[in-house]
Amino acid sequence: MASRKDSGPAASTGMASTGGTLDSPVKQIQIEGLVVLKIIKHYQEEGQGSEVVQGVLLGLVVDDRLEITNCFPFPQHTEDDADFDEVQYQMEMMRSLRHVNIDHLHVGWYQSTYYGSFVSRALLDSQFSYQHAIEESVVLIYDPIKTAQGSLSLKAYRLTPKLMEICKEKDFTPEGLKKANIGFEHMFEEVPIIIKNSHLINVLMWELEDKSTVADKHELLNLSSSNHLEKSLQLLMDRVDDMSQDIVKYNTYSRNLSKQQQQKHQYLQRRQQENAQRQSRGEPPLPEEDITKMFKPPQPPPRMDTLLIAGQINNYCQNVKEFTSQNLGKLFMAEALQGHN
């Protein structure tokens, strides 16, 4: 299988199978600066705490590039307007934007994340329905905490074709997954992003730089790391706990299964023996009873959750490693600075 490549050295895309060729219709994402600013603003104003903010991406597809030219945010789900019609909001928004010549083609959605914990059932379902409807859609994950540490963290993900197949058939049993030969590394594929600005926006950037003061906070060179590491490790531990529970469940299931096989085997043997005895005594053999009804096979636990948890753990580990490598570099720099004193 070509896609079972070793994605270990691809440190920047821990969750994706980069390999040589992405056999998907979208090979690159091109985002306008305006979209980046809007996403940042949306999170900053509406998403304090660990809530996620979501929104819709608009743009168009050019060759093998997906160009994202605009976006609009979605309101949060609150309890007091449970009858809020999301579809209507979206339709109205897109209709209005069309009046002012903004691209009104839906090409994906974005979501903010808390310390990298976005691999969940909800995301999978949403992305699956999007990708099913629009083939080239992506989900942009914006990590505000990592951005606040100094560098914009925006990643684009799509579901691999294999995962799409599985979701379509809803076959989440171990056998199904084994057939598809899918591992947690092949769930999502990351698409590289480039940012492109029009000339006018570039002029604006010049003006802004001219008129604004130099930033006085250089977060990227901040040496403190314990807070961030603590939280990341906490989340990692929770996930690993979930994982181990899942593993225990699977183990009990397979033990039950094998026990049941044994019982079946024994029963069949006893039956045969009895039948042989009866034949020797000249009596009619006992009727063959339906074995499957007597020994109902236990339900195999769905493997999708395990896959998701494994993917999430992988993501956490990847983030932690990136963070530590950056901090090691900074520590060595501080050492050099001190040494000269």
Partner 1 sequence: PAPPPHPHPQENKTAVRPPACRGSVRLSPAAGDRASLSKMSVFGPVVKIHPVVLASICDSYERRNEGASRVIGTLLGTIDKHSIEVTNCFSVPHNESEDEVAVDMEFAKNMYELHKRVSPTEVIIGWYATGFDITEHSVLIHEYYSREASNPIHLTADTALQSGKMNIRAYVSAQMGVPGKTVGVMFTPLTVKYIYYDTERIGVDLLQRTRVAPNRTKGLTSDLSQVAGSAARVQDMLATVLAYIEDVLSGKVTADNSVGRFLMDLVNKVPTISAEDFENMLNSNINDLLMVTYLSNLTQAQIALNEKLVLL
Q: Cβ of residue 179: shortest distance to partner 1, in angstroms?
A: 10
Angle at 334 between CA 333 and CA 336, to 5 degrees: 65
> What is d(CA 232, CA 288) in angstroms, rounded to the nearest whole number?
59
Report the DSSP pairing between strands 138-142 and 106-112: parallel
CB 332, min distance to partner 1, A: 9
Nearer to partner 1, 79 or 335 (CB): 335
Our CA dihedral for 235, 239, 240, 245, rounded to 10 degrees, sits at 150
Give 159's contacts (C-beta < 8 A, 6+ positions apart).
124, 127, 128, 131, 167, 187, 188, 189
Residue 192 or 298 with smaller CB distance to partner 1: 192
Residue 226 or 280 with smaller CB distance to partner 1: 226
Q: Nearest distance from residue 180's CB to partner 1, in Å?
A: 10
Calpha distance 270→264 (Å, rounded): 10
Nearer to partner 1, 237 or 291 (CB): 237
Rounded to the nearest whole angstrom, what is the least distance from the CB of residue 268 to partner 1 in the complex? 26
Rounded to 5 degrees, φ, ψ at 75 are -70, 160
Bridge partners, residue 30, by sequence = 67, 194
Q: 10 vs 164, which CB is nearer to partner 1? A: 10
CB of residue 32 to partner 1, shortest distance in Å: 8
Q: At what angle do helices 304-339 and 226-281 cross, to 10 degrees?
A: 150
Which residues sit opposite 230 in a β-bridge? none
Minimum gap (Å) between residue 281 Cβ and partner 1 = 46
Q: How far apart are CA 27 and CA 118, in angstroms?
A: 22
Is 207 or 289 the residue whose CB approaches partner 1 more closely?
Answer: 207
The DSSP-derived string for 2-24 is TT----SS-TT-TTS--SS---S
Nearest to 163 by CA among 181, 140, 175: 181
For 3, 156, 172, 268, 326, the CA distances from 9, given in Å and listed in that order, are 15, 20, 29, 52, 17
Nearer to partner 1 by C-beta: 131 or 315?
Answer: 315
Considering the complex, what minimum distance in angstroms separates the CB of residue 124 from partner 1? 17
Of 45 and 135, CB closest to partner 1? 45
Here the tokens at position 301 are 């636990």
Q: Which is nearer to partner 1, 133 or 208 (CB)?
A: 208
Closest approach, Cβ 48 to partner 1, in A, equals: 12
CA–CA gap between residue 292 and residue 298 (Å, rounded): 11
Q: Name the minimum Å distance from CB 264 to partner 1.
A: 22
Q: Which residues pair with 188 in a beta bridge?
A: 159
